[in-house]
Amino acid sequence: MIARLAGTLAEKAPDRVVVDVQGVGYVALVSLQTFTALPALGAAVRLLVHTEVREDAIELIAFAGEGERTLFHLLRKVKGLGPRTTLAVLSGMPAPELAGVIAAGDVGRLQSIPGVGKKLAERVVVECRAAAAALANGHAPTAIPATTLGGVADEAVSALVNLGYKRAEAESVVKKVRTEGAPLEDVIRAALRGLAGG
């Protein structure tokens, strides 16, 4: 199972990318949120991946940040949400905003996303509300390892930018909350609290 791709961005479109990893091109589906976070063609890229295995196909679904991948896994538990429909939902708004909308039980906002009707929006709220609230409060798990303080700070800033925050404010809050030897998850949680005014 593939969990991450790191290589050169060979192709990109609003719904898919091709990442060249040492001469092998991997096709992965993406949301619009991840697409807008991609670098220019030919640049180095690092994406988190979910491997979707079906009887007739194996698909890779790539994410610019852990927050979006966590939301993807959460939404996939909802009956009627396949991988492509889930990506369409994720394309509707940045991950932190989407988590907040679900946590607030805002069915109307969810229905504003193309392809999401009232019944589906209600199912998402009922089945995902508690977990989305935890995610919105910065309690999402992370799968991005880092071994040095600089690496942790850089990864935390990158994660916040991929969640929709501006790089300048992300860098500012990470500098304030990071602690020597603190794991990435703790730095991100503290940074999200700082950004939320907590």
**Which class is domain 66-136?**
mainly alpha
Name the CATH architecture for the domain at 149-195: Orthogonal Bundle (1.10)
Helix (H/G/I), strand (E/B), else coil: 52: strand
Domain ranges of the chain: 4-63, 66-136, 149-195
Question: How confident is the model over 149-174, as a mean pLDDT?
Answer: 72
Query: pTM here?
Result: 0.66
Taking only the tens place, the pLDDT of each residue in 67-126 is 899 999 999 988 888 888 899 999 988 888 999 999 999 999 999 888 889 999 999 999
CATH code, 4-63: 2.40.50.140
Distances (CA, A) of 141 to 36, 58, 112, 158: 23, 25, 28, 15
Distances (CA, A) of 90 to 6, 21, 99: 22, 26, 10
Distances (CA, A) of 94 to 64, 101, 179, 184: 11, 11, 28, 21
